[in-house]
């Protein structure tokens, strides 16, 4: 074995300490340890379960404080259809649209199961409670639970309700490291057909090395206040904040000086 190869192998433990990803499980060139094989199989099973399990909507509802709710459904009639037809998961059923009352809130929060029921069960209520605590000045509409929903389904909810801004929480696609990661998407003046470049995303919210609830809520709240002031989200908002010298993904964007730039 060459000296440089020995040096590289010696660095694998340090690389593994920096990431939950599986970094060179067999550095000596031998077979993968049985413990690693079993761990891989367990992670794969968790990812499959996260996709196919149903959200415990009653559990999420019981963990939320001071809100009214409505339960909606996308045009994907079941999980199999949802997985085969992403377009149907982005549109509300006609019955759901008809049941939405136009209340014109500042903010509507939409919770869609997405590709991880575990993410919704574990994290959605915590994030919603933290965001609402940081935005007491906003009128928040009824929280919409959407079965078989994807990110864009929130656009039709917001349009029907007449909301200024939509916050959609969705279970992110599970991986072999994390199967319960939550994503948060913000859209100003959301309407059906809104392009993804008009959204901002705060992703990787979970309790095992991802964004904490407080950090995620701080970033989401900052973006909501920025969007309400500047009347935009997406690339336009990110570019405008950058022109103001604000990097919203860092703690700098959350201090009083940065916040004052958008008041």
Output the six-digit token pair for 129: 């409670």
pLDDT, one tens digit per residue, over 226-260 is: 999 999 999 999 999 988 888 777 544 444 444 55
Residue boundaries of the structural domains of the chain:
57-211
Provide the angle, in degrees to the nearest 10, between the axes of the packed helices 213-230 and 125-134: 50
Provide the pLDDT for residue 2.
Answer: 53
Distance, in Å, from the CA atom of 186 to the CA atom of 81, rounded to the nearest integer, reads: 26
> Which run of H or E residues covers position 144?
strand 143-147
Nearest to 229 by CA among 152, 162, 137, 148: 137
Question: Domain 57-211: which topology?
Answer: Rossmann fold (3.40.50)
33-74 pLDDT, tens digit each: 787 788 878 888 888 888 889 999 999 999 998 899 999 999
Q: What is the pLDDT of residue 36?
A: 75
- Which 3 state secondary structure label does DSSP give 134? helix
Question: Nearest Cα to 207, choosing from 132, 137, 122?
Answer: 122
Please report the pLDDT score of residue 42 as a whole number.
87
**Sites in the chain below the pLDDT cut of 70:** 1-10, 16, 20, 22-30, 250-263
The residue count of the chain comes to 263
Contacts of 236 (CB under 8 A, 6+ apart): 198
Mean pLDDT score across all residues of the chain? 87
Alpha-carbon distances, residue 152 vs 5, 73, 88, 105 (angstroms): 48, 13, 10, 19
pLDDT of residue 55: 95
pLDDT value at residue 6: 56
């Amino acid at each position: 074995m060459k000296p440089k190869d020995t040096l590289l192998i010696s660095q694998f433990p340090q690389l593994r300490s920096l990431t939950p990803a599986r970094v060179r499980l067999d550095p000596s060139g031998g077979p993968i340890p049985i413990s690693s094989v079993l761990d891989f199989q367990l992670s794969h099973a968790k990812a499959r379960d996260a996709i196919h399990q149903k959200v415990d909507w009653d559990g999420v509802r019981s963990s939320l404080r001071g809100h009214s709710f409505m339960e909606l459904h996308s045009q994907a009639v079941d999980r199999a259809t949802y997985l085969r037809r992403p377009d149907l998961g982005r549109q509300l059923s006609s019955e759901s649209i008809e049941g939405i009352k136009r209340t014109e809130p500042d903010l509507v929060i939409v919770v869609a199961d997405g590709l991880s029921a575990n993410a919704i069960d574990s994290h959605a209520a915590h994030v919603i409670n933290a965001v609402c605590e940081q935005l007491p000045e906003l009128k928040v509409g009824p929280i919409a639970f959407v079965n078989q929903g994807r990110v864009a389904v929130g656009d039709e909810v917001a349009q029907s309700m007449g909301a200024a801004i939509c916050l959609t929480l969705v279970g992110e696609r599970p991986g072999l490291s994390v199967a319960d990661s939550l994503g948060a998407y913000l859209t100003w003046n959301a309407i059906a057909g809104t392009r993804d470049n008009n959204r901002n995303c705060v992703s990787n919210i979970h309790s095992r090395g991802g964004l904490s609830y407080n950090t995620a809520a701080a970033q989401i709240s900052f973006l909501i206040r920025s969007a309400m002031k500047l009347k935009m989200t997406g690339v336009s908002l990110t570019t405008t904040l950058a022109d103001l010298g604000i990097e919203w993904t860092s703690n700098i964007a959350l201090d009083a000086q940065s916040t004052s730039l958008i008041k």
